């Protein structure tokens, strides 16, 4: 069976959403990102030298990391779920274009520094830039329901996760009406709603 190493509401949420959208069975292993400990007190570095989630353990035991790769792998396991356009179709490269943009321009350029640096001086530049960055998906989604093509893809799973983190990062998504409408729409999908509910409950349990 597939196995996913995740941390509640971290970027691995999009991999959980993708798995739930496909209906594929998986075992989920929770990682504490600060201590790098697993639930059984094992060391996550033994699983993933990068020390970061997501890690997908494949049926043959190989470990796959990086959200863009993990998400496309899950999508390709169940082509009937239509979570990614077929290779060779221009929309497959549009999907990769969005996954790369979300992973670098939104996640690493904004969300990552926001969660690591707490002082206003360090946060000023990423905060100033995020408005410019989010204007891109905002304009795109003003005209369309989904990021790529006419149906939900793993790029939507990844953007949904990123938009959910804006609030704890101190940014109000309501500034971009098309993004806040998109986020509400995505959360009406049963798999998205259930994945978020599961991880929010785990996060609350961690804080308790």
Ligand X SMILES: N[C@@H](CCC(=O)N[C@@H](CS)C(=O)NCC(=O)O)C(=O)O
Calculate helix-pair angle for 190-207, 13-22, nearest 10 degrees.
140
| Contact string (CB under 6 A) for ligand X, positions 47-66, x = contact | ----xxxx-----------x
| Contact string (CB under 6 A) for ligand X, positions 100-139, x = contact | ---x------------------------------------
Interacting span for ligand X (CB under 6 A) from 46-54, 82-90, 133-141, 174-182: 46-54
Query: Does residue 155 interact with ligand X by CB under 6 A?
Result: no
Name which position in 33, 38, 181, 202 contacts ligand X (CB under 6 A).
Answer: 33
Restricting to residues 11-30, which ones interact with ligand X according to CB under 6 A?
11
Least Cβ distance, residue 65 to ligand X (angstroms): 6
CB of 103 or CB of 137, closer to ligand X: 103
Least Cβ distance, residue 69 to ligand X (angstroms): 8
Length of the chain: 208
Restricting to residues 64-83, which ones interact with ligand X according to CB under 6 A?
66-67
The tokens describing 73, both together, are 């792998």
Least Cβ distance, residue 194 to ligand X (angstroms): 20
Least Cβ distance, residue 186 to ligand X (angstroms): 18
Name which position in 2, 10, 18, 169 contacts ligand X (CB under 6 A).
Answer: 10
DSSP string, the chain: -EEEEE-TTSTTHHHHHHHHHHT--EEEEEEETTTTEETTS-BGGGT-TT--S-EEE-TTS-EEESHHHHHHHHHHH-GGG-SSPPTTSHHHHHHHHHHHHIIIIIIIIIIHHHHH--SHHHHHHHHHHHHHHHHHHHHHHHS-SSSSTTS--HHHHHHHHHHHTTTTTT--GGGSHHHHHHHHHHTTSHHHHHHHHHHHHHHHHHH-
- Binding residues (CB under 6 A) for ligand X: these are 10-11, 33, 51-54, 66-67, 103
């Amino acid at each position: 069976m597939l196995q996913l190493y995740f941390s509640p509401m971290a970027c691995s949420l999009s991999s959980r959403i993708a798995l739930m959208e496909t209906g594929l069975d998986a075992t989920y292993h929770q990682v504490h990102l600060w201590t790098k400990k697993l639930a059984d007190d094992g060391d996550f570095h033994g699983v993933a030298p990068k020390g970061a989630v997501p890690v997908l353990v494949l049926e043959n035991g190989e470990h796959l990391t990086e959200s863009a790769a993990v998400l496309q792998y899950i999508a390709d396991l169940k082509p009937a779920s239509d979570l990614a356009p077929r290779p060779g179709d221009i929309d497959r490269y549009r999907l990769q274009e969005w996954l790369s943009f979300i992973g670098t321009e939104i996640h690493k350029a904004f969300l990552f520094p926001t969660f690591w640096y707490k002082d206003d001086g360090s946060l000023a530049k990423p905060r100033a830039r995020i408005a410019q960055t989010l204007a891109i998906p905002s304009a795109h989604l003003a005209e369309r329901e989904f990021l790529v093509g006419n149906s939900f893809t793993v790029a939507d799973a990844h953007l949904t996760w990123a938009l959910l983190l804006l609030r704890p990062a101190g940014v109000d998504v309501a500034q971009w009406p098309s993004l806040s409408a998109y986020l509400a729409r995505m959360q009406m999908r049963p798999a998205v709603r259930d994945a978020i509910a599961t991880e929010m409950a785990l996060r609350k349990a961690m804080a308790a």
